[in-house]
């Protein structure tokens, strides 16, 4: 691992959402809480892209709830699911185009003692292995909704960890193929190319974290644009 550490800048998040989802693997979510730094390696992400994406909160257009998705890249979007779990997202691409990446799981690195207290568990691999779990572990809540990911209290850090060159190239090829998809292409072609990209990203995550302990089980089927490392979320809940 490189000793180089730097905060991610706005241009990182202005890129196509699928590239951001892949690029966040291996980066570190950093939260300052009561003077202490909580940090975790991002190992699973999921992309939500535009009003045509039925899984995106903007699929019903610009509403009070989805307004954050239309803001500048790097805007934090936090929402509540099932009335009890928060989900943490970062807005991507150009302003007024609704898209974001959901951080689905992280591997705890710094401030683990604080995370255990917040989660009320001593099981390391269960601390942040789902969207709701990581929000609880890092103290992320609705108060952060609309804030910037480029501040001092919450940000994403690059510690120089890289995906193997051959896997990165495979992902780049799949992204390029998806970008070239024309409006007249069949739904099956779009579905196939999206699935191929998702598989390539999952392969990258598995390669990066193959030495990590096995996950605590759960659903291996992520969303259509999921990028995965070693951790898996329980079912499809936010727990």
Q: Please give the pLDDT value at position 66.
A: 93
In contact, 239 and 86? CB cutoff 8 Å: no
Confidence band for 230, pLDDT divided at 50, 70 and 90: very low
Comparing 35 with 202, the larger pLDDT belongs to 35
In contact, 161 and 208? CB cutoff 8 Å: yes
What are the C-alpha distances in Å from 109 to residues 1, 159, 220?
Answer: 14, 12, 23
Confidence band for 134, pLDDT divided at 50, 70 and 90: very high
Q: Pull the structure tokens for residue 153.
A: 């209290």
Q: Please give the pLDDT value at position 4.
A: 80
Q: What region, left, alpha or beta, does residue 83 occupy, with left being phi > 0 and alpha being psi -120 to 50 degrees? A: left
Structural domains of the chain, ranges and CATH numbers in brackets: 6-162+212-228 (3.10.300.10)
Mean pLDDT, rounded, for 147-161: 94
């Amino acid at each position: 691992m490189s000793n180089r550490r730097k905060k991610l800048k706005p241009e990182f998040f202005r890129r196509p959402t699928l590239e951001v989802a892949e690029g966040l693997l291996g980066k570190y979510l950093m939260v300052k809480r009561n003077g202490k730094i909580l940090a975790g390696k991002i190992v699973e992400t999921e992309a939500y892209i535009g009003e045509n994406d039925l899984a995106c909160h903007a699929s019903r257009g610009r509403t009070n709830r989805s307004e954050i998705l239309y803001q500048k890249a790097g805007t934090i979007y936090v929402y509540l699911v099932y009335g009890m779990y928060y989900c943490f997202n970062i807005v991507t691409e150009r302003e007024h185009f609704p898209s974001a990446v959901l951080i689905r799981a992280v591997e705890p690195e710094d401030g683990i003692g604080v995370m255990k207290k917040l989660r009320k568990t001593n099981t390391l691999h269960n601390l942040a292995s789902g969207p709701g779990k990581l929000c609880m572990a890092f103290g992320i809540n609705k108060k952060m909704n609309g804030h910037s990911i480029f501040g001092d209290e919450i940000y994403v850090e690059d510690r120089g960890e890289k995906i193997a060159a051959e896997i990165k190239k495979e992902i780049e090829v799949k992204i390029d193929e998806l970008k070239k998809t024309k409006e007249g292409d069949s739904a099956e072609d779009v579905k196939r190319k999206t699935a191929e990209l998702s598989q390539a990203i999952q392969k990258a995550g598995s390669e990066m974290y193959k030495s990590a302990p096995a996950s605590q089980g759960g659903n291996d089927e992520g969303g259509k644009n999921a990028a995965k490392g070693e951790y898996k979320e329980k079912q499809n809940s936010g727990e």
